[in-house]
Amino acid sequence: MNQENDIILSRLAKLLEAESPHLMRYASYRLGNTENAKDALQDVFLKMHSRLSENASPQVNDLRNYLFRTLSNLCTAKLCEQKKQNIVPLDEKFDSMETVTDDFESDFERISMLLNHIPDEQAEVIRLRIYGNNSFAEVADILSIPLPTVKSRFLYGVEKIRQGMKTIKSTI
């Protein structure tokens, strides 16, 4: 490992310490399980660590965004692997947004119910913004898409969820 990689690794360790709440929250609400989220974070760290150990210095402009990008890709892979992307029918208790939740599983279910009714690219922007605490500009960098696209995906996603909530409320 060269000296430059050492420096990046040190920055990575500090960044993980500072950002772990947001990374963990994002991964938890993406994967629906805190243990899986913890594993995902370990995987991300190990992946980045081995890249730095084995290869020349990677070209990383923003380590934080790189970290989120790696985590986002890893979560997608995990979900595909585990086939955990369950679609909940729209007519299934949409009003649960106002119900009491005191554990992660039910809260995840509640939020999944809201996010599962919009295209995944919109849901991913919302997850990175809210649970990852990323700005729209950071989300654009993480997903490698233009900033206006991030903003429109976020807005359309939120609008669509709202419409769904209103529709269901009016039919209950």
What's the longest Cα–Cα distance across the chain? 63
Between residues 25 and 93, which has the closer beta carbon with respect to another protein?
25
Q: Give the residue, chosen from 16, 60, 79, 145, that forms a contact with another protein under the rule CB under 8 A.
A: 16
Does 116 interact with another protein (rule: CB under 8 A)?
no
Closest distance of CB 90 from another protein, Å: 15
Please give the size of the binding site for another protein, defined by CB under 8 A.
53
Does 98 interact with another protein (rule: CB under 8 A)?
yes
Does 133 interact with another protein (rule: CB under 8 A)?
yes
Structure tokens at 88: 């909940």
Q: Give the residue, chosen from 119, 135, 146, 169, that forms a contact with another protein under the rule CB under 8 A.
A: 135
Footprint of another protein (CB under 8 A): 13, 16-21, 24-25, 28-29, 34-35, 38-39, 41-42, 45-46, 49-50, 53, 97-105, 107, 110-111, 114-115, 126, 129-131, 133-136, 151-152, 154-155, 158-159, 161-162, 165
